């Protein structure tokens, strides 16, 4: 049995499924609208392709990233307290997620007092962070590719989408993960965490 697989509340799963299906349908419609003339619909193309990239990356990396040691991704000294992320507006972005259906896209993110649940939460955050890092790199690559082939508006649209759909979610995960990690560190001694897979 995979102890790192999180159980999902049926209501949370329903909301996730509704949000994911709605965004997938909108993405397909957006691609149909944008592809005949990408320079007329650059934002539509960027948002639609970003959702396709995010879905593909999530599906491909899900099991691998969840199996990783939840303590593998270390924090740099300057980010451990999360102050730098507050300076760039991570709390405002987090508020947006909590107030809109976008927050339903992570139904496994639940905070509990049990250490095992907290470490599973760290794994889920590792997955989300890694997927946004890979997805962001791909969409940023698309931004550069479109820009150098003469589609500047499309390239700029992909860059903006990368900022709001990957960079801010990534730093939000790092900020939240730092907070969860500090809770786990208070519960378990360092010797109990080293080498855990």
- Give the residue extent of every domain in the chain: 10-188
**Would you write out the chain's pLDDT as a tens digit for each of its 197 residues?**
344 455 667 888 888 889 999 999 999 999 999 999 999 999 999 999 999 999 999 999 988 888 887 766 667 777 766 778 878 888 888 888 888 877 777 766 555 555 567 777 888 888 888 999 999 999 999 999 999 999 999 999 999 999 999 999 988 888 888 777 777 777 765 434 444 43
Q: Shortest CA distance to 140 belongs to which of 165, 106, 169, 105?
A: 165
Three-state secondary-structure class, residue 52: helix
Backbone φ and ψ of 185, nearest 5°: -65, -30
Q: Shortest CA distance to 32 belongs to which of 44, 50, 19?
A: 44
Q: Is the pTM of this model over 0.85?
A: no
Q: Shortest CA distance to 88 belongs to which of 33, 180, 164?
A: 164
- Contact indicator for 151, 45 with CB cutoff of 8 Å: no
């Amino acid at each position: 049995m995979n102890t790192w697989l999180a159980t999902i509340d049926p209501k949370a799963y329903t909301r996730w499924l509704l949000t994911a299906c709605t965004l997938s349908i909108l993405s397909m419609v957006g691609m149909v609208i944008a592809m005949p003339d990408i320079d007329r619909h650059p934002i539509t193309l960027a948002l639609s392709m970003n959702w396709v990239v995010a879905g593909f990356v999530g599906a491909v990396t899900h099991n691998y990233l969840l199996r990783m040691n939840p303590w593998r991704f270390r924090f740099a000294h300057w980010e451990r307290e999360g102050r730098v992320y507050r300076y760039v507006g991570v709390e405002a972005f987090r508020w947006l997620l909590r107030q809109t259906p976008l927050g339903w896209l992570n139904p496994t993110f639940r905070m509990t007092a049990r250490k095992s649940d907290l470490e599973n939460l760290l794994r889920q955050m590792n997955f989300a962070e890694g997927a946004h890092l890979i997805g962001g790199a791909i969409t940023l690559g698309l931004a550069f590719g479109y820009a150098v082939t003469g589609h500047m508006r499309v390239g700029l649209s992909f860059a903006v989408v990368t900022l709001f759909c990957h960079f801010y979610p990534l730093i939000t995960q790092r900020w939240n993960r730092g907070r969860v990690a500090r809770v786990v560190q208070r519960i378990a001694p360092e010797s109990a965490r080293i080498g855990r897979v």
